[in-house]
Amino acid sequence: MISEIWALTIREVKTWIREPILVFMMVIQPVIWLGLFGQAFNLTGLVQIPLSNLPPEITQQIGVIFNQMIGSIFGGTLDYFTYMAAGMLSVVILFTSMFSGMSVVWDRRFGFLNKLLVAPIARGSIVMAKVTSSVIRGLFQAALVFSIAFAFGLQAGNAFNVLDLLGVFAGLFLLSIGLSSLFIALTIRVKSWEAHMAVVNLLNLPLMFASSALFPINMMPDWLQSIAKVNPISYASDLVRAFILHSSSVGLDISRIALNFEILIAFAVIFSFIGIVLAERGLRKG
C-alpha cells in the first residue's frame, strides 16, 4: 500500500515540478495579496491621531495604551503586514488544497482515474496519494511565500528560532492534510470540473475571510466569530502567528499552542479518515 501511495505521489509531484511556471503562478496570488493588502494597512498609523493641543507626554501615553490594545487584539504585533503574512501561509495551504480536488476531477476526465480503479490497489491509497502530493506542494509554496514575506519586511519575534520554524510547518502540514482531504472528499463523485469550481468557489472565500488569517476574530461581529471559531484556518493562523512572533520578553504561550495543535490534529485525522472511507465506497466510474 505504501509503495502504491508513494508511486502515485511521485507521479503527481513530477508533473508538478516539470511546470515551474505553474509553481510560481500559484505563489503570485498570495504575494499580491501580501503586497496590496498587507502593506496598505498600517496599524500604528491608526493611532497617530493629531492630538497636538495635548502635552506630548500625554499623547505618547495614549499612543502606548492604544498600541498595547491593538497589539493584544492582533496577537502581539503592531505590524499588520506581519500579522497578515502569518495568516497568509494558511491561505496558501487553502489555495493549494483546492487544486487537489481539481486533480481528481481532472484525472477522471482524462481517464487516468479509470486506470487506477482497475488496478488491484486500495481505493484509499488513490486519495492518500493525492493528499500527500498536495501537502508537499502546499508546504513548498508556503515556504516560498514565507521567504518572500521575509524579504518584504516580515518582523518575526526576537526569539524566533529553528524550532519555531518547525512548529510553523507542522501546523501547516496538519492543516494541509485536513483541507486536501476535505476538498477531495467533496469531489469524489463530481464529474465535471465546472461543478467542482462552483463548490470550491463557494467555500474558498468564506474559509479565507471567516478566519483569523486576515483579521483578528474579536474584531468580527458575533455571527462571523462563530464561523471563524470552527474554521481550522483560524487555528492554523493562530498557531503560525504564535511561533513567528516568539519574543524573548513574552515567550511561547504553550497552552495556546497545544490547543491549536490538538484541534489541527483532530481536523487532519477526521477528514483524512472521511476521505479514505468515501473513496472506498464512492470512488468508482460513473
**For residues 43-62, which are near other proteins according to CB under 8 A?**
none
Alpha-carbon distance 93 to 218, whole Å? 23
**Choices 80-88, 115-123, 181-189, 208-216; region in contact with other proteins by CB under 8 A:** 115-123
How crowded is residue 60: how many other Cβ atoms within 10 Å of its Cβ? 12
Q: What is the dihedral of CA 20, 25, 30, 31, to 10 degrees?
A: 80
What are the φ/ψ torsions at residue 140 (nearest 5 degrees)?
-65, -45
What are the φ/ψ torsions at residue 76 (nearest 5 degrees)?
100, 15
Type of residue found at 281: R
In sign, the C-alpha dihedral spanning 182, 144, 210, 98 is negative
Alpha-carbon distance 45 to 36, whole Å? 17
By CB under 8 A, residue 15 contacts other proteins: yes
**Choices 6-14, 45-53, 133-141, 273-281; region in contact with other proteins by CB under 8 A:** 6-14
By CB under 8 A, residue 7 contacts other proteins: yes
**Choices 10-18, 25-33, 154-162, 245-253; region in contact with other proteins by CB under 8 A:** 10-18
Closer residue to other proteins (CB): 15 or 226:
15
**Beta carbon of residue 130, minimum distance to other proteins (angstroms, whole number):** 14
By CB under 8 A, residue 119 contacts other proteins: yes
Closer residue to other proteins (CB): 114 or 204:
114
By CB under 8 A, residue 117 contacts other proteins: yes
By CB under 8 A, residue 11 contacts other proteins: yes
Type of residue found at 115: K
By CB under 8 A, residue 8 contacts other proteins: yes
CA 140 to chain centre: 12
Rule CB under 8 A: choose which of 20, 50, 55, 111 binds other proteins: 111
By CB under 8 A, residue 21 contacts other proteins: no
**Choices 1-9, 58-66, 150-158, 213-221; region in contact with other proteins by CB under 8 A:** 1-9
> What are the b/e assignments for 232-261, b being 16+ CB within 10 Å?
bbbbbbbbbbbbbbbeeeeebbeeebeebb
Residues in contact with other proteins by the rule CB under 8 A: 3-4, 7-8, 10-11, 14-15, 18-19, 110-112, 114-121, 284-286
